[in-house]
Amino acid sequence: MSGGNTGPVVGARGLGSFLLGIATWIITLLFFFPVFWMVLNGFKEEVDANTDPKLFFDPTLDRFSEVTEDTTGLLSFSEAFANSFWSVLISTIVVMAMAIPAAYALSIRPVEKWRDVLFFFISTKFLPIVAAILPLWIIARDAGLLNTRLVLIILYTAMNLPLAVWMLRSFFNEVPKELIEAASIDGAKISSQIRSVILPIVAPGLAATALLCVIFAWNEFFLAVQLNPVDGTTVPVWVQSNVSSRGNFLAKLSAASTLATLPVVLAGWVAQKRMIRGLAMGAIK
């Protein structure tokens, strides 16, 4: 079968490549199907959602208006959305504000034992949050922080900081040493050195890192549901609150899920190429 590169073999290879292409499409569509189905179900009447799978139906926006409507006594969409928005935004800003100087101190002008420090940051990611939830809950309760946005901001910052330090450090390593030396010979202060020389080069990396922090914080459920069961709770908890034990809820739940996932999915789609770079290339160099 090792017949060399003669005509028919090339033809066979072309066919093989065509078939692989078809296979890629089929596999991808299967992979995406659950998401497609969820979005589709959000446009159905409950009767149509709670039956054998229906591809064709009269689409309606009623489920979307139902789930975004404020009902007294229940967690409202606008409230959960605002809580999520502020917790995610502020925690990501704080993470970046602390991680940028830290990454600088671990790569461009490294402290002694920078490796140990980096390991310490990463090792905190291995400690399961569940093992700390009890003291966190007690401390938060005693400090009067339960059911506030502040407690989530603090914990989301702690959750994302190690990853951000690690990723940013790798991006800073990509800044050519000569550029930094030139800037320090010119007597530029560290702050202006960062602003004018380093930041422009690492900007795509910053975006990828911030995006990843946003994804993890936006999707976080455990801390939100444990620490803020009453107030200050977030979108994942709101999605879960659409599950009801009475009556059909599949279409409503689908509409809620679609709304809840939309911001992060769109952001991820837009930034996917940067994410590839940010996650792997930077992380390995």
String of DSSP letters for 250-268: HHHHHHHHHHHHHHHHHHH
Q: Which is nearer to another protein, 46 or 79 (CB)?
A: 46
Query: How far is Cα 93 from Cα 58, in angstroms, rounded to an integer?
Result: 44
Q: Which is nearer to another protein, 65 or 109 (CB)?
A: 109
Q: Applying CB under 8 A, which of residues 82, 158, 188, 201 lies at the interface with another protein?
A: 158
Q: Is position 150 an interface residue for another protein (rule: CB under 8 A)?
A: no
Stretch that binds another protein, among 85-93, 161-169, 177-185, 196-204 (CB under 8 A): 161-169
DSSP 79: H
Using DSSP, state whether 180 is helix, strand or coil: helix
Residues within window 73-132 making contact with another protein, judged by CB under 8 A: 97-99, 101-102, 104-106, 109-112, 115, 117-132
Q: Is position 205 an interface residue for another protein (rule: CB under 8 A)?
A: no
Q: Is position 47 an interface residue for another protein (rule: CB under 8 A)?
A: no
What backbone torsions phi and psi does residue 146 show, to the nearest 5 degrees? -60, 145
Using DSSP, state whether 127 is helix, strand or coil: coil
Q: Applying CB under 8 A, which of residues 9, 15, 19, 28 lies at the interface with another protein?
A: 28
Q: Is position 274 an interface residue for another protein (rule: CB under 8 A)?
A: no
Backbone conformation region of residue 144, classed left if phi is above 0, alpha if psi is from -120 to 50, else beta: left
Query: How far is Cα 251 from Cα 258, in angstroms, rounded to an integer?
Result: 11
Dig out the tokens for 266 from the structure: 């769109």
In angstroms, give the least distance from the CB of 5 to another protein.
9
Query: How far is Cα 198 from Cα 175, in angstroms, rounded to an integer?
Result: 7
Q: Is position 284 an interface residue for another protein (rule: CB under 8 A)?
A: yes
In angstroms, give the least distance from the CB of 40 to another protein.
10
Residues within window 124-143 making contact with another protein, judged by CB under 8 A: 124-139
Counting residues that bind another protein (by CB under 8 A) gives: 100
The kind and range of the H/E element at 20 are helix 7-42
Q: Is position 243 an interface residue for another protein (rule: CB under 8 A)?
A: yes
Q: Applying CB under 8 A, which of residues 92, 235, 252, 255 lies at the interface with another protein?
A: 235
